[in-house]
């Protein structure tokens, strides 16, 4: 009789998952959640998945609206990625599995010329989650 093996589980973060402003909104120009309870409830299922799938390393990529990337936007976007990491750790995820970077408006998903207002600009303010082992994640980490 052949031994059955467990099928490989789908990796929810093999493709990027964006937490946009409609899910995790930050106070303007800060890394504090505007609505902490909503942010935590949005992040909770992600934390539960990561606790259950403890072999998945995660990269969190913070980004900002506008088309300017400078020290200020890099710092803000990194701080926002760190805020999501802190929440994941508070919800039971091992922090050593999570890397963070801030890319300002230089992330690969940024829509140029969207400005600072409106739905497109809102979508540019995000934290993207991706498996840190993917080719894209490795490229992003090595470029920063």
Report yes or no: 77 and 104 within 8 Å, Cβ to Cβ.
yes
For 33, list phi and psi in degrees, rounded to 5. Answer: -70, 135
Residue pLDDT, tens place only, 17-73: 999 988 999 998 999 999 999 999 999 999 999 999 999 999 999 999 999 899 999
pTM of the predicted protein model: 0.89
Q: Which residue spans within the chain are E strands per DSSP?
A: 17-20, 58-62, 98-102, 126-131
pLDDT digits (tens, 9 = 90+) for 111-128: 999 888 888 888 889 999
Q: Is the dihedral of CA 34, 129, 90, 71 positive or negative?
A: negative
For residue 140, give both structure tokens.
Answer: 């992003």
């Amino acid at each position: 009789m052949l031994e059955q093996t467990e099928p490989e589980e789908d990796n929810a973060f093999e493709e990027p998952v964006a937490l946009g402003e409609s899910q995790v909104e930050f106070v303007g120009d800060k890394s504090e959640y505007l609505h902490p309870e909503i942010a935590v409830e949005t992040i909770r299922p992600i934390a539960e998945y990561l606790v259950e799938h403890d072999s998945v390393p995660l990269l969190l990529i913070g980004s900002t609206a506008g088309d300017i990337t400078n020290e200020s936007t890099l710092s803000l976007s990194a701080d926002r990625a760190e805020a999501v990491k802190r929440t994941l750790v508070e919800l039971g995820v091992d922090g050593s599995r999570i890397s963070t970077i801030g890319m300002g408006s230089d992330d690969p998903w940024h829509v140029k010329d969207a400005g600072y207002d409106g739905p497109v600009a809102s979508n540019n303010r995000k934290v993207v989650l991706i498996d840190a082992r993917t080719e894209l994640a490795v490229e992003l980490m090595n470029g920063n």
